[in-house]
Structure 1
Amino acid sequence: MKKRSERVIDYSVFLNGTEYLGTATATLPEITYLVDTIKGGGINGEMEAPAPGQTGTMTLTLNWRTIEAAAAKLIAPKSHALDLRASIQTFDPATSEYKETAFKVTVRGRPLALSMGNLEPAATMDTNNTFSISYLKVMIDGVEALEIDKYNYVHKVYGVDYLAATKANLGM
């Protein structure tokens, strides 16, 4: 029987791989394929046809409890390299033991917004940064699960680059 994922034990956010920024709650990018509705001869009705490797806009939001120096730093109008690292609690029913799985998301993105949040006595400010993501890599337990690099025509899922034929056809 396989181990069962249960929850995130803890997490951290780093800038440029080494500069610890804190523990912002993150809303990770959603990956959606660009689609077109196709219809006509040979198709009974209409169908959504995704374009392999072509993705829609990806955003990342970091939510801070209060205004952090990191939040202000990340509004600088340039590309930022961020690592989000987590330890995921799992349970192995075969051994009845808890284990941990490393989870790492690496992104490169440009700032879209900084919401400084609210000022209210005895309450969090709910500050957040939002980024437009051009590069995304997901590592699960040391294995590369996903890599999307919009500027370099890379769309890998567990090592298979679904844009390899496109690059070859374009002479890239």
Structure 2
Amino acid sequence: MPKRSERVIDYSVYLNAVDYLGTATATLPEITYLVDTIKGGGIAGEMAAPSPGHTGAMSLALKWRTIEKAAASLLAPKIHTLDLRASIQTFDTATSEYREVPFKVTVRARPLGLTLGNLETAAVMDTTNNFSVNYLKVTLDGVQVLEIDKYNYIHKVYDVDYLAATKENLSL
């Protein structure tokens, strides 16, 4: 493949897809499957067996340089829909040209807390919002690569829903 991803050029945070909040540094959700240790007859020892489509708790952290009105408003105890939009720099080794591709992460998340940060002369405060994520959608270069919706039994990776059979079996 001649195209190589290099870096995030810039990024922004939006509320409800339209309200610009700023450029908080985001720690994006980690996706881990729920696992159980399987052992017994026919298995030489133990192995971790993931449950397809069932994930552990996902979280999001937004770190602001200073206290922002947006940080305070995101503490409201309700579900917030946030878009994190970025432009990723790639380099095409065949043509020796740079290209930018869009990257977008959409979450529906509930606030877990707000750390006001530090007060220090001539320094950033590092005010941080922490969220529990129940919905996640990732789009890269116009292609939806991931969608997880815990309440609606959706776990799509490149448009394959790994919870479709579960939903059908449960008549959901």
TM range (shorter): over 0.9
Q: Name stretches of at least 5 consecutive residues in structure 2 with no aligned partner.
A: none
**Equivalent residue, structure 2, for 1:151:** 151
Deviations 1:37-92 (A, max 9, x none): 01000000000000000000000000000000000000000000000000000000
Write the mapping of 1:1-172 to structure 2, written as runs, cut at 5 A: 1-172=1-172
Q: Give the Cα–Cα distance (whole angstroms) in 1 for the partners of residues 61 and 32 of structure 2.
A: 17
Aligned to 1:166, the other structure's residue is in SS state: helix
For 2:121 and 2:94, how far apart are their aligned partners in 1?
A: 49
What SS does the corresponding residue of 2:94 show, helix, strand or coil? coil
What SS does the corresponding residue of 2:151 show, helix, strand or coil?
Answer: helix
Shift of 1:97: 0.1
CA deviation string 1:102-139 (max 9, x = no partner): 00000000000100001111110010000000000000
User: CA-atom RMSD, angstroms?
Assistant: 0.4
* Cα distance between partner residues in 1 of 2:121 and 2:142: 43
* Equivalent AA in structure 2 for residue 40 of structure 1: G
1:2, distance to aligned residue in structure 2 (A): 2.6
Q: Partner letter of residue 106 of structure 2?
A: T
Q: Which runs of 5+ in 1 are unaligned?
A: none
SS at match of 1:13: strand
- Calculate percent identity across the aligned residue pairs: 76
Task: Describe the SS at the equivalent of 2:17.
Answer: coil
Corresponding residue SS for 1:72: helix
Name the TM-score, length of structure 1 as normaliser.
0.99
Q: Which amino acid aligns with 1:9?
A: I
For 2:145 and 2:2, locate their aligned partners in 1 and report how far apart those are by CA, in whole Å.
Answer: 18
Within 1, Cα distance between the matches of 2:109 and 2:162? Answer: 22
| TM-score, with length taken from structure 2 | 0.99
CA drift of 1:36 comes to: 0.2
Distance in 2 separating the partners of 1:169 and 1:77 = 34
Q: Which amino acid aligns with 2:58?
A: M
